[in-house]
A and B are shown apart, each in its own frame.
Chain A
């Protein structure tokens, strides 16, 4: 009941004209930036963080949350119409959605994506509304041991559950940790890993790192490609919207995707991208129309898009109630909170409850705004796809430079941006995923702080990890979380082999 009262209060302030305007602006801006090919939610938020510097915390956060889910939706438009996913989460949409668009079903694909995102997003926010207070209660018994464990789990899961090589995902995490440790040690004030440069003693700014890693390599790569093959934009003007059959075929994937995405989203360290992949796999497995997959099966758009957006809501839960981000994007949001001097976690629900509930309420509003704005405006957004690449990507380079300047106001900050841009490019070329290192960079101060406190309290012993009941339960869950997927993979492969055999 208290929750509903809090939420009601949140709605009251989220519906104030200015808050409402920022929520709308956020989803609109997010969609616009998300539509631009090659720019996903992470780059979108990172580029737009400097814009929120001068704002009231609540407005800045409403804006950036709106940008987050707006850009997720924008990404699916791009994936459907030109097969260029801005981020991993829409990569599967690029498979089925694009095929649908090629067959003149583009509008249906966009509609099922939008409706699925809306339903799943709203369900996930309802989950967020009611689960966060519960988790906050639980968090009251958390000590540094549990926090350390949770953060270590987040990093471990981020590496084991990403697609591609696990060793490379781990490398990415350790690169993030390495960067995060540069600067003065917060406990003793001693300089660390500064290589004698006093400028490095403030550490490396998170936004600069995120912008450099996510925006620069993509921009440089596209500019360097030069005038090559032009993207073919699928037209969809004469398509029909969803037919009755489309609705029937989408309903269950939406539902399954929502549940799956929400659960995966809550797991620390696992973002929405895995949710959309898992949903796609699941839909393909249980579909009666397996042969249609890869040729434009609507289930393959409906499920993953729902899962993707449910994952966004799910990922907000550990962020808000524990202060632990579940993915690179929520790591960015955590950074924005701390930028405003706020520390998400149990305390924020007590000390800043008005603010946090306003943000949660604004998410409901943002989701509604997303569907009202986007389906009618999709024709306008598609025009953005025609923006010449050289203009788009050179503008992005200018914007990240402004961002870096606005943070450091120095040549040093600008050079850091360039250098990490090169590092990001090389990582990308070496097949090292970029997102885990962002997560690691945000977590490193908390991780180290709790690690130290844990060992100081126990006098150097690691035993509290096993003797404290809460921490032991986390360990059990963690083991299940890591062994589970391995068994799942094994099971899928076995089924696949059996299926292949029976077909033959």
Chain B
């Protein structure tokens, strides 16, 4: 297997993921009870599942095809350097012989990518917050969550973080409960 450029490798992974999701989705339609209508409850979900499989496979095929084409045009070493920066503007034919597909060549800066480890950590903390929100209650869990998040980011400003976390939780609680009549969970304080 030829080496793929980072952008195209990403497409292959995305394609595989989409195909798998489509397959699971399609298989799940077997459990939908059939009816005698012309369009049964199964019709639409089945179309969607198949479409996802087809699109996923298409994405994989497209990436492999492009990497072949790229390998013909550019020597292997230069290939990865050129397409790494393709960013948002990479249209359907950005890789082919250097012609930008976007009509005016509006090139947007690709946003900076965070480290995966950090992303997983942030998501984990968010899920913990979502999990304790109801049993522990809004005030305590929110203050704790905000304190944790801000302190990971800016540990030296812990006093400000603490004041912010407590104030924000209280103000939001009061605003929602008394202002908007959205009753937030009281949890262990209740």
A interface residues (Cβ-Cβ under 8 A, vs B): 50-51, 53-54, 83, 91-92, 94-95, 163-168, 170-171, 174-175, 177-178, 181, 185, 187-188, 190-193, 195-196, 216, 220-221, 223-229, 277, 280-281, 284-285, 388-391, 393-395, 397-399, 401-402, 405-406, 410-411, 414-415, 417-418, 421-422, 425-426, 429-432, 444, 448, 451-452, 455-456, 459-460, 488-489, 492-493, 496
Contact = CB atoms under 8 A, between A and B. Distances in A.
A193 B134 contact: no
B133 A188 contact: no
B4 interface: no
Given A395-B146, A421-B126, A405 B133 contact: yes
A419 to B, nearest CB: 9
Chain A binding surface SS class: helix
Interface of B: 10-11, 13-14, 17-18, 21-22, 25, 28-29, 31-33, 35, 37-39, 41-42, 44-45, 48-49, 51-52, 55-56, 58-59, 62, 88-92, 99, 101-104, 106, 108-109, 111-112, 114-115, 118-119, 121-123, 126-127, 129-131, 133-134, 138, 142, 145-146, 149-150, 152-154, 164, 168-169, 172, 176, 180-182, 184-185
A168 B108 CA distance: 18
Contacts of A220: 119, 122-123, 126
B11 A431 contact: yes
Contacts of B123: 220, 418, 421-422, 425
Contact of A226 (B49, B114, B134): B114
Nearest to B53: A174
A192 B32 contact: yes
B159 to A, nearest CB: 14
A174 B131 contact: no
Given A167-B62, A401-B130, A402-B184, A394 B150 contact: yes
A322 B51 CA distance: 27
Contacts of B122: 220, 223-224
7 contacts: A165-B90, A174-B51, A223-B152, A280-B104, A390-B153, A391-B164, A414-B133
Determine which residue in B59, B102, B126, B181 has the highest number of CB atoms from chain A within 10 A of its CB, and name it. B126
B106 A50 contact: no
B14 A398 contact: no
B127 A418 contact: yes
A166 to B, nearest CB: 6
Contacts of B44: 177, 181, 444, 448, 451
A221 B114 contact: yes
A69 B138 CA distance: 32
A430 B168 CA distance: 34
Pairs A-B, 7 closest by C-beta atoms: A430-B14, A390-B153, A224-B114, A224-B118, A394-B149, A281-B104, A185-B41
B107 to A, nearest CB: 9
A415 B134 CA distance: 12
A431 B10 contact: yes
B38 A163 contact: no
Contacts of B130: 401, 411, 414-415, 417-418
A224 B119 CA distance: 5
B92 A166 contact: yes
A225 B152 CA distance: 11
B38 A414 contact: no
Contact of B111 (A196, A221, A388): A221
A335 to B, nearest CB: 18
A379 to B, nearest CB: 24
A178 B48 contact: yes
